[in-house]
Chain A
Amino acid sequence: MTAHHEQSTASSPVSTVSAEDARIAPKPRLRRFHQASWDEDLIFDLGSPGERGVLVPRPDPSLTPPEIPAALRRAEPPALPEMAQQQVLRHYLRLSQENLGADLNIDVGQGTCTMKYSPKVNDQFVRDPRIAALHPLQDEDTVQGVLGIVHALEQLLKEISGMDRVSLQPGAGSAAIYANVAMIRAYFEARGELDQRDEVITTIFSHPSNAACAKTAGFKVITLHPDADGYPDIEALKAAVGPRTAALLITNPEDTGIYNPRIEEFVRIVHEAGGLCSYDQANANGILGITRARDAGFDLCHFNLHKTFSTPHACGGPAAGACAVTAELAPYLPRPTVEFDGTTYRIDDDRPESVGKMRPFLGVVPNLVRAYAWIMSLGAEGLRAAAETAVLNNNYLLHKVRQIPGVSVPYAEGRPRVEQVRYSWQQLYEDTGVHSEELGLRAADFGTHYWTSHHPYVVPEPMTLEPTESYTRADLDEYAAILTEVAREAYESPETVRTAPHRSTVHRARPESLEDPATWAVSWRAYRRKILGEGLR
């Protein structure tokens, strides 16, 4: 500050700015969000020939490169970008800003995906070289820490599920479903019943991977639809089971958020027919410490560690799955397992009845470490508090959302929901012609979004919300207020919604080209050939 300035300020007898002028007006009811929109080029438009992003160690000059057979030598260098390091960083940081991670938004709209907070401290553990720079073929005495974590996580999940053994090898939830189906197949094969038992039963409100993994593993799939109240139809189950039944693959609560109260009867019916029961616990977040797979009589279950146990979703993986089974199914678990003799942890790869490897090595170890740390930071009381809070949050949001004109909550009238709800905007659609997908896109203008449901849309114009335990009451109020506003717009200015998003990174895509083999472009070179008409080689 200059002397002159000081003087002039000090000598002003009366301020020309009133306190009222200096007052910052209250914020409007809804956030005036605008997502970063860098209008960023494709990476192929960046850089220039000769630039380098990173240098590579070169061999000692005394060494000579080996001869490469002519047919196996690359003829022309790959047309990769040539960019300096900061320019690569800047491009990707811009793209990151054009991405709305769960750390930044009230991410309750990815129903069934259990978007909970992934603690930052857990990321620090997995970035430590003593996890990140471990090789899976090191001597066991150099990896006792990580083997101990994997072993301990198995013990925790045994107690949480009530099961006898757990494999942590599958790379994600669907991979765990597949591993369970593979174990079911091995079980019946060992009994000589596989030729006879070739059917798997699931429900339409269980994740599509239950049906798809069973089919991939060679089973015929029977899908049960809900009864009039939205519960899996027990009469349909009775009609479906028989000597061909290998297994029931079922989620509970289902993706509607409705808990099937007759689950023990379902399990009994399938067991009496000689089938096994496998519990898809993708929706376990509301029932931790409340009820367990074993308590309802299941033979197998799986958890998605990236959902219920808080590992980050990473734009769609890496994730991690856990398969938990009874002692009867344990011989079939993927190999290897980690065993402990009271002193030392070791890897047991000698499991002759195992379904084999589900992926390389032990599993997605960084996420096993994160899941272990998360459970250990909460303990039994904390897990139960997480479950109860998730359920409280869900029913609180349900209470708010159901007051919005145009929305309904199909099925199980008057019954609570567990940790998610599948809503329907059918009334709003009939009134306005605006689809649920369009409401979800308009929500992007307020800094959030939502997902409709898996296909087929059994619930018309669906919206699936799962608040988890991570959001405050104020967060949930804000989310409900956004939905209220978007629904109001659908009634009062539907064009605003239909043409959304307006304040997101980009505007409405014209995706028709993506379904036509003549125009779809999965790569830059495909776009150049098909759309720009460039002759490539």
Chain B
Amino acid sequence: MTSAENAVHPYLPNSAPAVRQAMLDEIGAASVEEFYADIPDSVRLHRPLDLPAPMRSEAELARHMEQLLARNTSTRQALSFLGQGCYQHHVPAVVDEVVNRSEFLTAYAGEPYEDHGRFQALWEYQSMMAELLDVEVVNVPVYDGFQAAGTALRMAGRITGRRRLLLATAVDPDKLSRVRDYVRPDHDVVVVPVDPRTGCADLDAVAAELAKGDVAAVFADMPSALGIVDAALPQLAELAHGAGALYVVGCNPLALGVLAPPSAFGADIACGDIQTLGVHQSYGGGNAGFIATRDEEHLVAEYPSRLFGLAPTTVDGEYGFGDVAWERTSFALREDGKEWVGTAAALHGIGAGVYLALMGPHGMREIGDTILTHTAYARQRLAQVPGVQVPFGDSLHFADFTVRYTGGRTAAEIRADLRQHGIFGGVPLGDQQAAYCVTEVHTKADIDLLATTLEEIIK
């Protein structure tokens, strides 16, 4: 069976029986079985795998996949107001063109010679992120923003030698799950409840937790899980530093054309997710994380990640690249390195670099302004809908925001009705609460349509 003609497949060049035999002859082996001689019979699978019949031709496969994809309705076929960690932004065509190039898409881990382009593109990504974040060190991307937060907090823990981590702004429950799991060998996570009226950090409560001592870091998100850009973010820095703790701030980099980067209001470590910088939603599969700090040796020493650096070559005027402080990593030191490093999300870093180069300072300012303006309008407009309250009054929101329904209908029912009107949005956060999100892709008319649809549904 194994050398049958029907094993020949376009992906398997040397499976043609004649080639296979010629190769065996050259090696001097009777059959492929000889190469499996070390695998004992007792662990061998003595039957074919029980898998569905394959779609061997590309045409059949494409038809099969089309049938599956046809059971999805994309956000382009509806009006989507979904956010909460995955965002609908326009992805410039040039970003797609670059990240879909075979040279980038299919490369892996070559040296900075034959893979010079990868090193330069990722170093430029680091550099552009450094400009955006107003720091000097940004890593090659890690898996996602959750991982970046977990690692940033462990970095703070190693630097301070302390155990407790205070989360001061509203945190996404999934992110909290990830962070709790990730830091638990060394740290206790303390969620300091936000002020229920404002949705903002409760500074007195944070101060009280700090007074108990042993705090490695105060963590805040900008915007928070409620979408709030907390006016108290600078005060949290003072509180953290006053207690000898580091200040770690998660942020949406897309907001930083208009909002101050965390370093400007006292953050020691910034982190976050770059999905918003030109990565498709892909059902939540388009994440990549960044970590950013000042260029101080004791901070750099705690990064687990790759850090690419610029170096001269033997030829004048040539840019060379390589790894900075390699001996930090688990590639160099196994369990004695910092956490671990491995394949993560480099191509998203290249794409985000293309995105930042296309946007430039003006594009980043304008998109930040557009999203803030749309968010403010959406909150104001939905607040006019009878039966809808928009909490947290004057707090600045970016993209995400929450509403409270005061009529008899549940958030789940309202979401289902919106869906019937071709609108995705209003993800329930409880019986009467729901989340919405607007970005630059929405128009005033879209927001008005959401409001009038809600009026119809709720009345």
Q: Determine whether the beta carbon of B100 is less than 8 Å from that of A143.
A: no
Q: Determine whether the beta carbon of A508 is less than 8 Å from that of B178.
A: no
Q: Does B440 contact A (CB under 8 A)?
A: yes
**In the docked arrangement, what's the CA distance between A312 and B49, Å?**
25
Q: Does B146 contact A (CB under 8 A)?
A: yes
**Please, which residues of chain A bring their CB within 8 A of the CB of B56?**
377-379, 382
Which of B322-377 touch A at CB < 8 Å?
Answer: 322-327, 330-337, 339-348, 350, 353-354, 356-367, 369-370, 372-377
Kindly supply a per-residue 1/0 record for chain A positions 70-88, scoring 1 wherever the CB is within 8 Å of any chain B CB and 0 otherwise.
0111110111111101001
Closest partner residue, chain A, to B70 (CB atom): A145
Q: Determine whether the beta carbon of A392 is less than 8 Å from that of B315.
A: no
Sample of 5 A–B contacts (CB below 8 Å): A97-B103, A103-B106, A159-B49, A381-B4, A386-B12
Q: Determine whether the beta carbon of B312 is less than 8 Å from that of A80.
A: no
Q: Determine whether the beta carbon of B342 is less than 8 Å from that of A142.
A: no
Q: Determine whether the beta carbon of B318 is less than 8 Å from that of A507.
A: yes
Q: Determine whether the beta carbon of B343 is less than 8 Å from that of A316.
A: yes
**Please, which residues of chain A bring their CB within 8 A of the CB of B71?**
143-145, 148
Contacts A146-B283, A315-B107; is A515 near B49 (CB within 8 Å)?
no
Q: Determine whether the beta carbon of B357 is less than 8 Å from that of A43.
A: yes
State which size class the interface on B falls in: 35 or more
**Please, which residues of chain A bring their CB within 8 A of the CB of B53?**
379
**Please, which residues of chain A bring their CB within 8 A of the CB of B222?**
72
Q: Does B285 contact A (CB under 8 A)?
A: yes
Q: Does A12 contact B (CB under 8 A)?
A: no
Give the Cβ gap from B248 to chain A, nearest Cβ, in Å: 17
Given A130-B72, A135-B281, A418-B35, 9 more pairs with CB closer than 8 A:
A52-B363, A80-B364, A98-B120, A137-B427, A145-B72, A214-B335, A357-B174, A449-B113, A515-B326
Give the Cβ gap from A478 to chain B, nearest Cβ, in Å: 13
Q: Determine whether the beta carbon of A72 is less than 8 Å from that of B259.
A: yes
A136: contacting residue among B40, B104, B284, B345, CB under 8 A: B284
Q: Does A17 contact B (CB under 8 A)?
A: no
Q: Determine whether the beta carbon of A211 is less than 8 Å from that of B334.
A: yes
Q: Determine whether the beta carbon of B131 is less than 8 Å from that of A525.
A: yes
**In the docked arrangement, what's the CA distance between A75 and B265, Å?**
11
Q: Does B171 contact A (CB under 8 A)?
A: no
Which of B35-84 touch A at CB < 8 Å?
Answer: 35-40, 42-45, 48-56, 58, 61-62, 64-65, 68-78, 80, 82, 84
B103: contacting residue among A103, A129, A159, A295, CB under 8 A: A103
**In the docked arrangement, what's the CA distance between A428 and B340, Å?**
33
Give the Cβ gap from A372 to chain B, nearest Cβ, in Å: 9
The 8 closest A-B pairs by CB, nearest first: A361-B284, A379-B54, A218-B185, A136-B284, A99-B117, A509-B320, A53-B358, A174-B342
Q: Does A44 contact B (CB under 8 A)?
A: yes
**Please, which residues of chain B bring their CB within 8 A of the CB of A178?**
340
Q: Does B156 contact A (CB under 8 A)?
A: no
Name the segment of A23-31, A238-246, A258-266, A487-495 touching the other chain: A258-266
Q: Does A462 contact B (CB under 8 A)?
A: no
Closest partner residue, chain B, to A415 (CB atom): B38
Q: Among the interface residues B35, B109, B260, B346, which one has the most CB atoms of the partner chain A within 10 A?
A: B35
Kindly supply a per-residue 1/0 record for chain B positions 119-147, scoring 1 wherever the CB is within 8 Å of any chain A CB and 0 otherwise.
01111101110111011111011011111
A382: contacting residue among B7, B114, B367, CB under 8 A: B7
B344: contacting residue among A47, A317, A355, A360, CB under 8 A: A317
Q: Does B449 contact A (CB under 8 A)?
A: no
B259: contacting residue among A57, A62, A74, A144, CB under 8 A: A74
Q: Determine whether the beta carbon of A88 is less than 8 Å from that of B257.
A: no
Q: Does B457 contact A (CB under 8 A)?
A: no
Which of A136-170 touch B at CB < 8 Å?
Answer: 136-139, 141-146, 148-149, 156, 159-160, 162
Kindly supply a per-residue 1/0 record for chain A positions 188-232, scoring 1 wherever the CB is within 8 Å of any chain B CB and 0 otherwise.
000000000000000000001101111111100101000000000
Q: Among the interface residues A79, A95, A136, A388, which one has the most CB atoms of the partner chain B within 10 A?
A: A95
Closest partner residue, chain A, to B320 (CB atom): A509
Which of B142-190 touch A at CB < 8 Å?
Answer: 143-147, 174-175, 177-178, 180-181, 184-186
Name the segment of B13-21, B211-219, B239-247 touching the other chain: B13-21
B7: contacting residue among A101, A385, A520, CB under 8 A: A385
Q: Determine whether the beta carbon of B140 is less than 8 Å from that of A521.
A: no
Kindly supply a per-residue 1/0 record for chain A positions 112-137, scoring 1 wherever the CB is within 8 Å of any chain B CB and 0 otherwise.
01011111010111111111111111
**In the docked arrangement, what's the CA distance between A123 and B104, Å?**
14
Q: Does B207 contact A (CB under 8 A)?
A: no
Q: Determine whether the beta carbon of A63 is less than 8 Å from that of B444.
A: yes
**Please, which residues of chain A bring their CB within 8 A of the CB of B127?**
42-44, 523-525
Q: Among the interface residues A117, A133, A260, A295, which one has the most CB atoms of the partner chain B within 10 A?
A: A133
**Please, which residues of chain A bring their CB within 8 A of the CB of B90?**
57
B146: contacting residue among A35, A98, A133, A359, CB under 8 A: A359
**In the docked arrangement, what's the CA distance between A93 and B354, Å?**
11
**Please, which residues of chain B bring their CB within 8 A of the CB of A522?**
123, 126, 130, 136-138, 295, 300, 307-309, 324
B373: contacting residue among A39, A64, A368, CB under 8 A: A64
B361: contacting residue among A77, A141, A289, CB under 8 A: A77
Q: Determine whether the beta carbon of B340 is less than 8 Å from that of A80.
A: no
**Please, which residues of chain A bring their CB within 8 A of the CB of B265?**
71-72
* Number of residues of chain A lying within 8 A (CB) of chain B: 215
A-B contact count (CB 8 A): 744
Q: Does A275 contact B (CB under 8 A)?
A: no
Kindly supply a per-residue 1/0 record for chain B positions 97-119, scoring 1 wherever the CB is within 8 Å of any chain A CB and 0 otherwise.
11011111111111111111110
Closest partner residue, chain A, to B439 (CB atom): A57
Q: Determine whether the beta carbon of A505 is less than 8 Å from that of B116.
A: yes
**Please, which residues of chain A bring their CB within 8 A of the CB of B113?**
441, 444, 449, 501, 504-506
Contacts A95-B120, A382-B9; is A66 near B358 (CB within 8 Å)?
no
Contacts A80-B364, A362-B283; is A54 near B234 (CB within 8 Å)?
no
Q: Does A22 contact B (CB under 8 A)?
A: no
Give the Cβ gap from A198 to chain B, nearest Cβ, in Å: 10
Q: Determine whether the beta carbon of A380 is less than 8 Å from that of B282.
A: no
Kindly supply a per-residue 1/0 record for chain A positions 350-378, scoring 1 wherever the CB is within 8 Å of any chain B CB and 0 otherwise.
00000111111111111110000101111
Contacts A96-B101, A98-B117; is A511 near B311 (CB within 8 Å)?
yes
Closest partner residue, chain B, to A356 (CB atom): B177
Q: Does A435 contact B (CB under 8 A)?
A: no
**In the docked arrangement, what's the CA distance between A273 and B68, Å?**
47
Contacts A132-B282, A363-B285; is A356 near B180 (CB within 8 Å)?
yes
**Please, which residues of chain A bring their CB within 8 A of the CB of B333?**
455
Q: Does B204 contact A (CB under 8 A)?
A: no
Q: Determine whether the beta carbon of A313 is less than 8 Å from that of B29.
A: no
Q: Determine whether the beta carbon of B440 is less than 8 Å from that of A57.
A: yes
Q: Does A314 contact B (CB under 8 A)?
A: yes
Q: Determine whether the beta carbon of B14 is less than 8 Å from that of A524.
A: no
Q: Does B201 contact A (CB under 8 A)?
A: no
Give the Cβ gap from A334 to chain B, nearest Cβ, in Å: 9
Name the segment of A2-10, A322-330, A465-473 touching the other chain: A465-473
Q: Does B199 contact A (CB under 8 A)?
A: no
**In the docked arrangement, what's the CA distance between A102 and B177, Å?**
37
Q: Determine whether the beta carbon of A128 is less than 8 Å from that of B342.
A: no
Q: Determine whether the beta carbon of B359 is less than 8 Å from that of A525.
A: no
Q: Determine whether the beta carbon of A80 is less than 8 Å from that of B131.
A: yes
**Please, which residues of chain B bring their CB within 8 A of the CB of A104?**
102-103, 106
